[in-house]
Amino acid sequence: MTNAAKSGHPTTCSSCADFMSVLFFDPVGMHFNPAKPECFTNDRLVLSKGHAAPLLYSAWQKAGYLKEEELLTLR
């Protein structure tokens, strides 16, 4: 994503990939239904580390919220 956008901070994404993978994909992490993103019982995540947006988009894609080709539309 950052290469296609010709901007971004991949090292920032790497620095938080470990906890993001737990939040999104470990049974003890967040609970959400990608088929119903508006559901009030879904857990919410506020990512204040803005330079890590590519990592968040990647997690959304793996979780089923985005299509893979949408990742190249960063920025």
CA–centroid distance for 70 within its chain: 12
Domain, as residue range, for 9: 2-73
Tens digit of each residue's pLDDT, the chain (75 residues): 888 888 888 899 999 999 999 999 999 999 999 899 899 999 999 998 888 999 999 999 999 999 999 998 887
What SS3 state is found at 75?
coil
**Full-model pTM:** 0.83
- The count of structural domains within the chain is 1
Angstrom distance (rounded) from CA 25 to CA 63: 8
C-alpha distance across the termini of the chain, in Å: 9
